[in-house]
Amino acid sequence: MSPKYIGSIDQGTSSSRFLVFNSSGEIVTSYQSEYQNDYPNPGWVQKDPNEILSSVTGSIERAVSNLETQGDSVSDIVAVGLTNQRETTIAFSIETGEPLTDAIIWSDIRTSDIVSRLVAKDPGVQKVCGLPIATYFSATKMIWMLENVPAVQEAASKGTLRFGNVDTWLIYKLTGKFVTDVTNASRTMLMDIHTLKWSKENCDFFGINPDFLPEIKSSSEVYGVITSGPLAGIPIAGDLGDQQAATVGQLCFSAGEAKNTYGTGCFMLFNTGESPIFSKNGLLTTVAYQLGPNEKPSYALEGSIAVAGSAIQWLRDKLGIINSAPEINVLAQSVEDNGGVYFVTAFSGLFAPYWRDDARGCIVGLTQFASRGHIARATLESVCFQTRDILEAMNKDSGTKLSLLRVDGGMTNSDLAMQIQSDILGIKVVRPEMRETTAFGAAIAAGLAVGFWKSKEDVISQVRDTEFCPRINEETRETMLKGWKSAVEKSLNSV
C-alpha cells in the first residue's frame, strides 16, 4: 500500500499546530496549542524556547491521538514538513542542548540602538543579503544576546554557542541535527543571497562567528529522523519560513505570482523567478524556496506589516471593545464606512516600505460621531491600506502591475475584510477554499522530498476559490488613500 499522509508542524508567533494532509491536500486531522509571549519591557517580545518546543510536541501528541481515534495509524505518515515564525532567534548550548536565554521574537525592537550604530558604518550589507539593517532580522538579535547575556558570552568563549531561528531549534531538538534551510537563512542578514552560503563579509561586519550557525540546506530534503515521541522514526523532510511556505502552499510557482498572508503580522511575497531583484522602494529581497538540493532557488520580493491580526487581539484583550476576534466583523459591518477614522497600527514601528522604527500606533480623525464600529472598521482597513502601500512598491520594482492577489491566513475568514482589501487595492482578491496554505506548503516540500508527490505539477489539482472584486470607484479610493497617508505622517517621529 502506498503512503497515505504527510505531517506538517506549523510553529507560529502565538500558537503551534500539527496537521496531517492526504495526497489531495485535504486536512485529515490537526491540533493547535496557543501560548502567550512575554513583554518584560516596552518593545520587547520574548519566549522560553522550551515552551515553544512543548507547544509543538503537545500538538503532535494530540493530533496523532486524533488520527488513531479515526482509525488511522501514525505509520501512515511518511514524512513531516516544518514551517516556522521567521527571524525569531534562539541561542542554545551544543554541550547541554538547552537554551541560554529566552528567544527574541521577530517583532521585538530592543535592538534599535544596535541598528543605529550599524547603519552609520554600513559597508553595503543589503547588496549581499537582500535585507536592510533592521531590528526585524536575526543578526541584530544575536548581537544583543552576545552583548547582554552572560550565559551567551560564556558559551561563545567556550565555542559551545549555537544560534538558530525556530526551525533550527525544533529540528535540533527533534532529530539532533543542526541545520536550517535557505528561506530561514535568508532572514538573518548573514547569508549571501547569490551563493546561498553564509557570507564571510556579513558575518565579519556583524561580529557573528559562522561556526555558531547551522548548516544551510534546501527547503526540500531529509534533514534527520525524529528520535522520540509518537513520530519517532519519521523523517523531517521539508523546512520553510512561514511566509515562504504560504507561497508554496498557494502554488505560486511561476514568476509574477503573488500572495499575501494575514496572520499576527501580514506578509506579501512576489515570485521573481530564478534571479533576485533588489528593491528601490523599501522591499526585501528573499529566497522564496528551493525545492530540492539540486534544484535552482526561486526568489521573491517581500513586504511586511508588523501588526495585522494582533491588532484585533489588542482590541479584544487591551481595549475590551470586542469579546472574540470574529466579533470585529459584526462591529465593522454596523457602519457604512470608517467615518473619517484611521488607525495606524504601528505598535512596533512601520515595516515596508517605510522602515520607520520611530512610528507608533495612532488613531486619528476621532469626532463625537465616531463609534466602536468605526474603530473596528479602521482596524481592518489599516491592514488593507498597508497592503496597498506594499503592492505599489512591488509594482514599481518588478515593472509589472499585478491584477490579482492570492490571500490566506486567519483574517481572510472575514468576507468583509477581503472585500475592503479588494476595494482599496482596486484589483481582484482570490481566497482558496483550503485556507491552511502555510502548513500545506511545508507538507508539499516534505512530500516532494520523499516522493509522496512526484512533482510540483502532481501537487496542483483543481482548486476552488472565492473571488472578491472592487466595488468602489477610483475617486472614493483616492480619497481614502489620501486620509491614510495623512494618518501615517502623524504616526512618525513618535519616539
How many C-beta atoms surround the C-beta of residue 278 within 10 A? 13
Q: Which residues fall within 8 angstroms of residue 109, CB to CB, at 6 or more apart?
A: 43, 44, 135, 348, 349, 357
Cell (9 digits) for 12: 507560529
> Range of 40's domain?
5-249
The interaxial angle of helices 150-158 and 138-148, nearest 10 deg, is 100
52 belongs to a structural domain = yes
pLDDT in tens, the chain (495 residues): 456 999 999 999 889 999 999 988 889 999 999 899 999 998 899 999 999 999 999 999 999 999 999 999 999 999 999 999 999 999 999 999 999 999 999 989 999 999 999 999 887 899 999 998 999 899 999 999 999 999 999 999 999 999 999 999 999 999 999 999 999 999 999 999 999 999 999 999 999 999 999 999 999 999 999 999 999 999 999 999 999 999 999 888 888 888 998 877 788 898 988 989 988 887 889 999 999 999 999 999 988 888 888 889 899 999 999 999 889 999 999 999 999 999 999 988 888 788 788 899 999 999 999 999 999 999 999 999 999 999 888 888 888 778 789 998 888 989 999 999 999 999 999 998 887 889 999 999 999 999 999 888 888 765 678 899 999 999 999 999 999 999 999 999 887
Among 436, 431, 106, which Cα is nearest to 265's? Answer: 106
pTM: 0.83
183 assigned to some structural domain = yes
In a domain, 288, yes or no: no
Q: Per the domain annotation, does 227 fall within a domain?
A: yes
How many domains, the chain?
A: 1
Give the domain CATH number at 148. Answer: 3.30.420.40
In a domain, 62, yes or no: yes
Domain annotation covers residue 154: yes
Residue at grid coordinates 537554551: 99
Apex 29 CA angle, 27 and 35, nearest 5: 110
Per-residue pLDDT, 463: 62
Instruction: Indicate whether 389 belongs to any domain.
Output: no
- Predicted local confidence at residue 280, as pLDDT: 85
Domain assignment present for 485: no
pLDDT on residue 21:
95
